Amino acid sequence: AFDSWGATNITKNWTTISGTNNAADRVHNIAIGGAEVQAAVLGFTTPLIAGAQILNFGFQPEVVLFLWSGAVSAALPTNQTHRSLGMGAMTATRQWAWVVNSQDNVNPANTQRGQWTNWCISALNFLGAVSFQAHFVSMDPTGATILWVTPGAAAYHISALALAGISAQIGSYNKSVAP
């Protein structure tokens, strides 16, 4: 867990990691600061019915980043037998999302992936069908609004980081196939 930060360092307090791979792994972080920066983290779940969802951050964000681990409805933190990871982003003019997943201990191997520029949150099941999906509606004075077109079959966990007071752009491009 995050404890504190100062002008030159970040202090974290680690709890015991469960599972079979307790090796020392590299941890990456990013620090964003400045007098004008506003940041808020929000944990929420997918709704069970389609419709608008208001995300209250307490300020109007310039960019919102989303992170989810597939269709996880159990209390966090939790372990998954199969792997799934998704990330999305939205500003007032653009959005994107990607997801990758891999089913454990199956033959033949079963992996899925997806990338979208018309959704800020999207997940696939292990058959490759959409399991939940939402797109940007608006940046509001105290948060943002997203629209769930495909709600979750259960209340799946999603984390959001909202930032304001920074210069942020998101985008996507097609990779060149020419050498």
pLDDT interval class at 27 (50, 70, 90): low
- What pLDDT was estimated at residue 156? 87
Average pLDDT over residues 52-62: 97
Pick 34 or 144 by higher pLDDT.
144
Pick 75 or 108 by higher pLDDT.
108
Average pLDDT over residues 86-108: 91
Among residues 77, 88, 69, the alpha carbon closest in space to that of 15 is found at 77
Res 35 pLDDT > 80: yes
Q: What is the mean pLDDT of the chain?
A: 85
- What pLDDT was estimated at residue 174? 78
Average pLDDT over residues 76-98: 85
For every residue of 70-137, DSSP letters joined together read: SS--SPSS---SSEEEEEEEE-SS-EEEEEEEEESS-SS-EEEEEEESS-SEEEE-TTS-EEEEEEEE
Residue entry with tokens 């999302």: 97
